[in-house]
Structure 1
């Protein structure tokens, strides 16, 4: 936006010297030199913007890479915990399958009675 203002002010400075009979010699620059100067400034502005965008995209790339590494580690941790959990469940299945139903009912009833006793004592 600032470049447009500069361009307009330069353009108006050029056109201020025009009279009906011809151009006054108020400026030592030709219009070609002024256009080249404006183009050079515009190119510098574009180069700055490209450099900023390049740094920004580099930062985004680094951030995405770090998030991918974190997600990979999390996935590996979930896989290992799934393995541990399935091993524990297999052990529970073996315990429940080998115990008789009568012993299991006695075990559950005693845990329930112990829980109720502790509950009433703490209350």
Structure 2
């Protein structure tokens, strides 16, 4: 705030020196235009202050949003890590099952049973469609 006062004081002293050079009629119009220029400058300064406040608030909101997204991504990364651990354990169990001959034979038997169930289901459905159709 004191910077503005110092700036105004130096501007006024500069324009006062110029007013002494000019003649009387021009001096009045010069001070009038100086007042108008100062009013325009004040309006411009106020407008800039409003814009700066708006931008500061906007950047604060963006910062909050980025932090929120970072927290969400961290939680999602932790969830993915735990899922990866679970999947790794499951795959280890499947490897153990398929390494044993007895377990491999049992898995083949279950696979054949499921496959034959689907074949019988679709044949039955096909026959029912053509019979009652």
Superposition TM-score tier, normalisation by shorter sequence: 0.5 to 0.7
Deviation at 1:63, TM superposition (A): 0.9
The 1:115–1:30 alpha-carbon spacing in structure 2 relative to 1, beyond 3 Å, is same
1:105 matches 2:121: no
Structure 2's unaligned 5+ residue stretches are 1-22, 127-133
Q: Which residue of 1 aligns with 2:44?
A: 42
Structure 1's unaligned 5+ residue stretches are 1-20
- State the structure with bigger RCO (CA 8 A, min sep 6), 1 or 2: 1
Aligned length: 103
TM norm structure 1: 0.68
Matches within 5 A, 1:1-123: 23=25, 30-100=32-102, 101-123=104-126
Larger helix fraction of residues: 2
1:41-91 CA-to-partner distances (Å, cap 9, x unmatched) read: 111010000011001101111111111111111111111111111111111
TM norm structure 2: 0.63
